[in-house]
Amino acid sequence: MKKCAALLMAICLMVTFAVAASADASVYYLNFKPEQDAQWQELAKVYTEQTGVPVTVVTAASGDYEKTLMSEIEKSDPPTLFQVNGPVGLANWVDYCYDLSGTALMEHLTSDSFALKGDDGTVKGIGYVIETYGIIANKTILEKAGYKAEDINSFAKLKEVADDLQARKDELGIKGAFTSAGMDGSSDWRFKTHLANMPIYYEYKADGIGFTDAIKGTYLDNYKQIWDLYITDSTCDPALLASKTGNDAVAEFVNGEAVFYQNGTWAWNDIKALGAENLTMIPIYIGVEGEENQGLCTGIENYWCVNNSADQEDIDATIAFMEWCITSDEGRKSMSQDMGFVVPFDTFTGEYASANPLVAIDTAMTAAGKEPVSWNFPSIPSEEWKNGVGSALTAYAAGTGDWDAVVSAFVDGWATEYALSH
Amino acid sequence: MMKTAKKTYHDGAVSGTKRVVDVLLSVLLALLSVAWMYPVLLILLNSLKLETAISTTSVFELPLGDKFVGLDNYIHGVTKMNFLSSFAYSAVITITSVLLILLCCSMCGWYITRVNSAISKAMYLLCVFSMVVPFQMVMFTLSKTADTLRLNTPFNICIVYLGFGAGLAVFMFTGFMKSVPVAIEEAAMIDGCNPVQIFFKVVFPILKPTMITTAILETMWVWNDYLLPTLVLDIKHYRTIPMAIQYFRGSYGRVEMGPMMACIMITVIPIIIMYLACQKYIIDGVIAGAVKG
Amino acid sequence: MEKAIKKYWPVFLLPTLAAFFIGFIFPFLWGIYLSFHKFTTVSKTAFVGLSNYAKVFADPTFVDAFWFTAAFTVVSTILINVIAFVLALALTRGVKGTNIYRTVFFLPNLIGGIVLGYIWQILLNGILTNLGLPLLALDARYGFWGLIILMCWQQIGYMMVIYISGLQNVPGDLLEAASIDGATSMQTLFKVKIPMVMPSVTICTFLTLTNSFKLFDQNLSLTGGEPAKASQMLALNIYDTVFDRAGAVWKGVGQAKAVVFFLLVVAIALIQLFFTRRKEVQQ
């Protein structure tokens, strides 16, 4: 009988610990950007072939990054490389960030301002992609209608053009001026985060600040103006926006059913079928005085952080992998050309400068003296705030809620969420 | 027996009206059945459509003409999401978990009924108690515990399922064992069998109907479970079917409805086939489970 | 013989007990412990007494989720059981094709919650759009009724099967006696059939009550709690609190919510048990 029991116990233990033996140093990257998932997987494979160090890339589903990171970081094999979106994101994860000062990454970083620092001055995160967004426009249709993108230099002008396009949509063979402002989880971040940056930017600028514990909402009427424009001069009934996905907007734009599409440089791969010569980008004008000189929105929302709770050898392997990404030919080619990133490291020059035409538009605009709009949404107090604003925008568009709810989600929500997270 | 009873209590005069009612009823039921199957049919039709032809407004249109893309969505969904491996993981998890639950819980159930001790009683009460506890109560700590013990692969997550699913199974087995007379087992003991032999040679065959019932109830649970594998499995390598379907909603701007519906169909079709094949067992299992519960 | 078996406890009892400890007992006790603590990682916890529980009841989303869940549970329990019973009556009349209908009605039960949610999201959004009404994610009322329809579709077949078996076990001579006494079919139904299938009613009510109250997958995939958490049920609310809210405060609060949720489920089970017992005494 004892033999039997011992055997059973042994089986139980074997099953339990069969996989417990851990491998040598390895890298586990929890990636935030689903658009580039395939390229990261490919790059990881190349690295493993060259060095023998296993690199696992997991991409969290859109809107699920925090959730995934939260449950993964607790595990016995936590991500060694993860991302935060800026100072606010860092505040939640600062205890997990390994000090990156003195690494080759810092050496090659083109400006210190692209690094996130802790209170003690150590480097907690390093930005690895500079992005730009605005309103991507289909030049061909615009010209067919008798307009030039360069002439659109204010909200009033934008509205005039959009209204006219909308009125003549049958003649022009389009379904609307703007692509559907989908509020599905795959697309709502374009409005609850990126578009929301505009009123935040102007308020910060007017007050001369970089973050706040209580937003006043000075420019919310402008936010309403642009949102109204998006949902009225659109390819679809505003009531349907809740279920419209990012794919829908891409399809409309690529099929030439809409002229304007608010998105950024990362969307290039989706829309390149239209051809670079047919595309341009215009700033998001919201009707603020002096906006003729406003440029596109440029900033960093993706910072690499190395998990300090990982084993030291995994940490070293991770840093080696990151350095390889920005110095090796394969890494540089993948990041600049395949992923289409503008990478803020001095190793990306010459043939490794970004090949993304949307980036070229931004460069030209900045060179022409337009003032880039900074990304202030990383100072948004929490994801919860974005969700609140997003829901209110959706309800307002559908007519089931009013604008006051947006204002309340924007202003009161900010104060509440700020208080909760501090 | 039931039919004869019916014939006798409905006399001739009533049967005329009964026939009318029955015809009406048949029509109603037939209509209702069609309506009942419609959601699945709708997904099937849409899964054959071109991606851009799927939207909330056009969802009821048939996949005709240039909107029809054949099996493109299926091929795309399966290759891109690695859906076949999800299918295999789900199958492995379900089979190992259910087998382990059946084996361990039948032994445990037999022990509890045959041995009248404090441990037996405590174990029984705990099992009943665990059936009431919602998963949310333990989700955070269970995922932590399972991770520490490395129970995070499709091959050993069955231990977690045994732990969390033991309650119902033990309850079913004890319920059945109570009605089985002890005499045969005693006879076997006199013949010189030890308890392990008695269990596998005598008790195990008797338990077969309850085994089937329990297997069905546990299979339905494990195969469709979403939250437990999401939290416990090592997501770096493994994704079950419900996790894969949920993941379709991810990715910036990349909710691909066509492939998603194709994968829903791939998930649903085997279920339908299995159900049609062992319908009798499944329905008997449900009834037996209800009587015990 | 009992003694002989007893000695073999490591074979018969230990594997289940060990797994039970890993998969249930330990996490359960640990969960209760953590609900009194503030923590981001479980290695660093700080005792905060009952303050997590105070936060639970001060959280409007939790209270809203409770009322949503309660309303959903009541409506779905009544609807599912009434419809399932009516269908069971129809299918025990000996109409042709009974088996096919039973097969069809039972089928949705085998499809998992996540998949069910997406199937109905596509269908219901399509219907709402074509009627010019707001979508599921826009109006919690549609979300509510969407969930009810979904639950009915999934559960009616299951409950119907149990009712059919209950009705088939009503002794034929009892029905005969009723018909000889001149009882109308309505009287037979209420005076004979329903009292005789009371055990089935108890089981089905219990199953629908707990299934509805603990609903998670369908809620996550059909509405995801939209708009603005207005269609969020308790289980989803807890999940969001634990995993979706950054910061040390929320983990403990989420765990406390889970304990409250657990107590509510136990309360429902006990009330149910109490009524069942009382009825059994009366019979």
Domain boundary residue, one of A345, A360, A375: A360
Q: Which of C90, C128, C242 sits opposite B29 (nearest CB)?
A: C90
Angle ∠(B152,B153,B157) on CA atoms, nearest 5: 70
Query: For residue B256, what pLDDT is reported?
Result: 73
For C243, the closest chain A residue by CA position comes to A67
Pick A313 or A11 by higher pLDDT.
Answer: A313
* One domain, residues A139 and A256: yes
The beta-strand segments (E) located in B70-191 are: none
Candidates C32, C62, C122, C196, partner chain B, best to mutate (most B CBs within 10 A): C122
Q: Smallest CA–CA separation between A260 and chain B, in Å?
A: 16
Ordered by where they begin, the domains of chain C are: 54-282 (1.10.3720.10)
> Contacts of residue B231 in chain A, CB cutoff 8 Å?
71
Measure the CA–CA gap between C138 and C117, rounded to whole angstroms.
Answer: 16
* One domain, residues A83 and A220: no
Q: State yes or no: pLDDT of A16 exceeds 80.
A: no
**Is C272 at the interface with chain B, CB within 8 A?**
no
The mean-pLDDT minimum among A126-140, A205-219, C66-80, C168-182 falls in C168-182
Q: Which of C16, C112, C258 sits opposite B223 (nearest CB)?
A: C112
Contact A124, A116 (CB under 8 A): yes
The mean-pLDDT minimum among A302-306, B72-76, C64-68 falls in B72-76
With an 8 Å Cβ cutoff, are C255 and B140 in contact? yes
* One domain, residues A148 and A290: yes
Q: State yes or no: pLDDT of B9 exceeds 50.
A: no
Query: For residue B15, what pLDDT is reported?
Result: 65
- Give Cα separations from A210 to A128, A298, C24 (angstroms): 21, 15, 49
Question: A-side interface with C, Cβ within 8 Å?
Answer: 1, 4-5, 8-9, 12, 66-67, 70-71, 73-74, 92, 95, 183, 185, 239-240, 242-243, 382-384, 387-388, 391-392, 394-395, 398-401, 420-421
The mean predicted confidence, pLDDT, of chain B is 84
For C7, the closest chain B residue by CA position comes to B195
Which stretch, B14-28, C45-59, C177-191, has highest mean pLDDT?
C45-59
Question: What pairing do the DSSP bridges indicate for beta strands A55-59 and A123-138?
Answer: unpaired
Measure the CA–CA gap between B280 and C103, rounded to whole angstroms.
Answer: 10
Q: How confident is residue B255, by pLDDT bands cut at 50, 70 and 90? A: low
Helices (H), C131-247: 140-168, 172-180, 185-187, 194-196, 198-213, 217-222, 234-243
Q: Smallest CA–CA separation between A74 and chain C, in Å?
A: 7
Q: State yes or no: pLDDT of C260 exceeds 80.
A: yes
* One domain, residues A161 and A293: yes
Report the complex ipTM: 0.86
Read off the pTM. Answer: 0.83
> Contacts of residue C10 in chain A, CB cutoff 8 Å?
4-5, 8-9
Q: Is residue A13 part of a domain?
A: no
* One domain, residues A206 and A270: yes
For B157, the closest chain A residue by CA position comes to A16
> Percent of chain A scored above 90 by pLDDT?
48
- Residue A23 sits at φ, ψ, to 5 deg, of -80, -175
> Contacts of residue A392 in chain C, CB cutoff 8 Å?
228
- The domain limits of chain B are 2-68, 81-247
Strand partners, A84: A303
Query: For residue C273, what pLDDT is reported?
Result: 78
Write out pLDDT tens, residues A172-190.
999 999 999 988 777 888 9
Q: Which of B153, B236, B255 sits opposite A246 (nearest CB)?
A: B255
Check which CATH number belongs to the domain holding A90 and give it: 3.40.190.10
Q: Smallest CA–CA separation between A390 and chain C, in Å?
A: 8
* One domain, residues A206 and A234: yes
Write out pLDDT tens, residues A324-377.
999 999 999 999 888 888 889 989 888 888 878 888 898 888 888 889 999 988
- The predicted model gives C113-135 an average pLDDT of 85
Using DSSP, state whether A28 is helix, strand or coil: strand
Helices (H), C51-180: 51-58, 60-91, 98-106, 113-130, 140-168, 172-180
Query: In CATH, what is the architecture of B81-247?
Result: Orthogonal Bundle (1.10)
Measure the CA–CA gap between B156 and B146, rounded to whole angstroms.
Answer: 10
Query: For residue A62, what pLDDT is reported?
Result: 67
* One domain, residues A193 and A329: no
Write out pLDDT tens, residues B228-246.
999 899 888 898 999 888 8
> Percent of chain C scored above 70 by pLDDT?
96
- The predicted model gives C182-190 an average pLDDT of 82
Q: State yes or no: pLDDT of B249 exceeds 80.
A: no
* One domain, residues A283 and A178: yes
Task: Please return the burial class of B106, using the count of CB atoms within 10 Å of its CB with bins 0-12, 13-18 and 19+.
Answer: buried
Contact B222, B248 (CB under 8 A): no
Q: State yes or no: pLDDT of A259 exceeds 60.
A: yes
Q: Is residue A40 part of a domain?
A: yes
Tokens standing for residue B23: 């015809």
Contact C264, C67 (CB under 8 A): no
Q: Which of B156, B196, B235 sits opposite A16 (nearest CB)?
A: B156
AA letter at A36: Q
Contact A134, A297 (CB under 8 A): yes
* One domain, residues A169 and A273: yes
Write out pLDDT tens, residues B159-184.
999 998 888 899 889 988 888 888 88
Query: For residue C283, what pLDDT is reported?
Result: 46
Candidates B59, B140, B207, partner chain C, best to mutate (most C CBs within 10 A): B140
The mean-pLDDT minimum among A75-79, A247-251, A308-312, C115-119 falls in A247-251
Contact A355, A332 (CB under 8 A): no
Q: Is residue A4 part of a domain?
A: no
Using DSSP, state whether A303 is helix, strand or coil: strand
Contact B110, B210 (CB under 8 A): no
Measure the CA–CA gap between A170 and A174, rounded to whole angstroms.
Answer: 6
Q: How confident is residue B250, by pLDDT bands cut at 50, 70 and 90? A: low
> Contacts of residue C41 in chain A, CB cutoff 8 Å?
73-74
Q: Is residue A93 part of a domain?
A: yes
Tokens standing for residue B52: 């851009």
- The predicted model gives C187-203 an average pLDDT of 85
Angle ∠(A365,A109,A353) on CA atoms, nearest 5: 45
Q: CB atoms < 10 A from the CB of A17, how many?
A: 12
- Which residue range(s) make up the domain with A286? 132-298+364-421
User: How many Cα atoms within 13 Å fall on the side-chain side of residue B147?
Assistant: 23
* One domain, residues A318 and A172: no
Measure the CA–CA gap between C33 and C25, rounded to whole angstroms.
Answer: 12
AA letter at A255: N
What end-to-end distance do the CA atoms of chain C give, in Å? 38
The mean predicted confidence, pLDDT, of chain C is 87
Is the bond preceding C227 in cis, omega lying within 30 degrees of 0?
A: yes
Q: State yes or no: pLDDT of A2 exceeds 60.
A: no
Q: State yes or no: pLDDT of B53 exceeds 80.
A: no
* One domain, residues A103 and A216: no
Q: Which of B194, B246, B255 sits opposite A184 (nearest CB)?
A: B255
Q: How confident is residue B291, by pLDDT bands cut at 50, 70 and 90? A: low
Write out pLDDT tens, residues C49-87.
899 999 999 888 999 999 999 999 999 999 999 999 999
- The predicted model gives B208-227 an average pLDDT of 89
Q: State yes or no: pLDDT of C258 exceeds 90.
A: yes
Q: Smallest CA–CA separation between A33 and chain B, in Å?
A: 8
Measure the CA–CA gap between B199 and C185, rounded to whole angstroms.
Answer: 51
Q: CB atoms < 10 A from the CB of B279, how many?
A: 15
Contact C66, C238 (CB under 8 A): no
For C238, the closest chain B residue by CA position comes to B136
| DSSP secondary structure letter of residue A99 | P
- Residue A216 sits at φ, ψ, to 5 deg, of -95, -25
Q: State yes or no: pLDDT of A8 exceeds 60.
A: no
* One domain, residues A99 and A28: yes
Q: Smallest CA–CA separation between A270 and chain C, in Å?
A: 25
Q: CB atoms < 10 A from the CB of B41, how many?
A: 10
